[in-house]
Amino acid sequence: MPTRQDLPPVVELRGVEKRFASGLTALAGVDLAVERGEFLSLLGPSGCGKSTLLRIVAGLTPLSAGHFRLSLGGQNGRRGTAGRVGFVFQDPTLMPWSTVANNVLLPFRIAGRSGEAARELALAAVRAVGLAGFEDAYPHQLSGGMRMRVSIARALVTDPELLLLDEPFAALDEITRLALNDDLLRLWEERRPTIVFVTHSVFESVYLSTRIAVMTARPGRIAADLAVDLAQPRGPATRSSREYAATCERVSAALGAAMAGA
């Protein structure tokens, strides 16, 4: 049996460049490796290419130069990436004509599995994000925070090895955001997927992550790679600890330097 240390990084990018047809270079020389079970935040100024980078990792957009490799473990090497990578977009992008349960069932439908077992898993995922009782509700009957929970349940339903989240909580009020931060941490502790989380918020990145990659302004590259050594599990006491404040200060300084082009 290979040990954890023998396994290659789940995500590996080397010298990755992304040039759009418009001629704009969004990413230049991105080097990043994400190890199994890490909770990595990508932190950087608006327009630096965070979403572009996440879309490359998800296989939604090709790179222009460099190397990119996704190494998903699992029992059966012949399984593709379907269901093994979960993506939460900034906008929940739910199907308005479908119920909560059917929205969460979508990844199984795409994979051609919509039997009773898949339905049970979808209902369990809905419960896991605290939406028991709303299985038959339609998206317009939910609050913004609840819609985001549905989107997270949909990303989690296939128990993905890699979870990609693009500013999932940016549009939410502070209370909901803090609650969803804790929900996400509990899910990560229980299932241990590898997570790449995009955020603008230093406080959020420090609270959640085991590691933070700070990006420069466009064209984006990784300017600083910082380990977050705060005790696990994280919780309300984390936010009021001296170590948390000190780490936020360190990460803010790195972000400031990256934005200044240092």
Ligand X SMILES: Nc1ncnc2c1ncn2[C@@H]1O[C@H](COP(=O)(O)OP(=O)(O)OP(=O)(O)O)[C@@H](O)[C@H]1O
Strand residues in 56-190 grouped as ranges (E): 65-70, 85-88, 162-166
5: which DSSP letter?
G
Stretch that binds Mg ion, among 47-55, 68-76, 119-127, 178-186 (CB under 5 A): 47-55
Question: What span, in angstroms and rounded, lies between the C-alpha atoms of 190 and 224?
Answer: 29
Stretch that binds ligand X, among 20-28, 148-156, 230-238, 251-259 (CB under 6 A): 20-28
Residue number of the CB closest to Mg ion reads: 51
Question: What span, in angstroms and rounded, lies between the C-alpha atoms of 194 and 40?
Answer: 8
Instruction: Please pick, from the candidates 11, 13, 40, 50, the single residue that binds ligand X as defined by CB under 6 A.
Output: 50
Stretch that binds Mg ion, among 33-41, 49-57, 170-178, 243-251 (CB under 5 A): 49-57
CB-wise, 139 or 219, nearer to ligand X? Answer: 219
Binding-site string for ligand X from residue 199 to residue 228, where x marks contact by CB under 6 A and - marks none? -------------------x----------
Instruction: Please pick, from the candidates 40, 48, 214, 255, the single residue that binds ligand X as defined by CB under 6 A.
Output: 48
> 198: helix, coil or strand?
strand
> What would the two tokens of residue 111 be?
């994979």
Helices 144-156 & 100-110 angle (0-180, nearest 10): 30
Q: Which of 47, 12, 86, 43 is nearest to 225 (CA)?
A: 43
Contact partner at residue 3 from ligand X, Mg ion, none, CB < 5 to 8 Å by partner kind:
none
Instruction: Please pick, from the candidates 18, 41, 51, 146, the single residue that binds Mg ion as defined by CB under 5 A.
Output: 51
Instruction: Please pick, from the candidates 10, 16, 26, 85, the single residue that binds ligand X as defined by CB under 6 A.
Output: 26
Stretch that binds ligand X, among 1-9, 41-49, 68-76, 222-230 (CB under 6 A): 41-49
Question: With CB under 6 A, what is the number of residues at the site for ligand X?
Answer: 13
Residue with tokens 């929970």: 149
Question: What span, in angstroms and rounded, lies between the C-alpha atoms of 243 and 239?
Answer: 9
10 Å CB burial of residue 140 (0-12, 13-18, 19+) is exposed
Residues that bind ligand X (CB under 6 A): 20, 22, 24, 26, 44, 46-52, 218
